[in-house]
Amino acid sequence: MFYDMHTGKLVIFSAPSGAGKTSIVNGVLQRTPKLAFSVSACSRPMRPGEVNGKDYYFLSPKTFREKIDEGAFLEWEEVYPGSYYGTLRSEVERLWQAGKHVVFDVDVAGGLNIKSQFPEQALAVFVKPPSLEVLRQRLVNRNTETEESLRKRLGKAELELSYANRFDHIVVNDNLETAIREASEKVLQFIDPQ
Ligand code: 5GP
């Protein structure tokens, strides 16, 4: 059923955490009405200000594992030890049915996974921080990380940066406005080729 329905395109944004990917995704979404955001499921605790069903579908680890067993996910990853994140097939179907192209904010492994399942239908964009030091500073300023989780995220970021060249396009997030403009142009060319 998933593959028979009328389908739109898939626009994937991946980046090391703290690269500013979420701001770019939001900027691109605001400029392009035909796009809609795929709300992921995750098993980590909700942060202050987050809304269930808007930022994520917050599931208990048990429910998350049950959904894995049911085959409910298009892709899922244990992004950080003990924290599961995944794209529900039902979410993509919902947005395609609404006539939208679907935008994903997923980690690098998840992004490459979706791209490999939909090589022609998906555009995979890698958002790169100007440097690892800028990335570290952004994570510190965000103030959501403990010493321990900061170390984990930076370790993972280094590894993820080495996968950048497997993506269709790399956007360096030095200046946010410029990065949003560049990403929006690429996305528009992809969903409405001239
Ligand atoms: P955060 O905990 O900061 O919201 O997100 C951590 C990381 O999980 C980010 O890199 C984000 O892109 C990634 N992520 C969010 N949703 C998904 C998903 O559905 N699948 C995968 N593979 N990664 C996700």
Between CA 53 and CA 57 the distance in angstroms is: 5
Q: What's the order of all strands across the beta sheet hosting 40-42?
A: 56-58, 40-42, 83-88, 73-80
Residue whose CA is at the smallest distance from ligand 1 atom 5? 17
Residue of the CA atom closest to atom 10 of ligand 1 = 107
Write down the pTM of the prediction: 0.91
CATH number at residue 36: 3.40.50.300
- Each residue of 113-162: pLDDT tens digit? 999 999 999 999 999 999 989 989 988 888 888 888 889 889 989 999 99
- What angle (nearest 5°) sits at the alpha carbon of residue 120, between those of residues 180 and 188? 30
- Output the six-digit token pair for 43: 């098993």
pLDDT tens for each residue of 131-140: 989 989 988 8
Q: Do residues 11 and 103 lie in contact, with contact meaning Cβ atoms separated by under 8 Å?
A: yes
Residue 90: which domain range? 10-191
Q: Whose CA is nearest to atom 1 of ligand 1?
A: 17
**How many angstroms separate the Cα of 179 from the Cα of each of 26, 28, 107, 169, 173?**
12, 10, 19, 12, 6
Q: Is residue 2 part of a domain?
A: no
Amino acid at 85: Y
For residue 95, being part of any structural domain is answered with yes
Position 142 scores a pLDDT of: 84
Residue 3 forms part of a structural domain: no
Confidence of residue 19 (pLDDT cuts 50, 70, 90): confident
Segment 41-52, tens digit of pLDDT: 999 999 999 999
Check pocket membership of 92 for ligand 1, CB cut-off 6 A: no
In a domain, 124, yes or no: yes
What average pLDDT does the segment 67-91 reach?
95
DSSP 98-160: TTPEEEEE--HHHHHHHHHHSTTTEEEEEEE-S-HHHHHHHHHHHT---HHHHHHHHHHHHHH
Domain count within the chain: 1
Please indicate, yes or no, if residue 134 is contained in any of the structural domains: yes
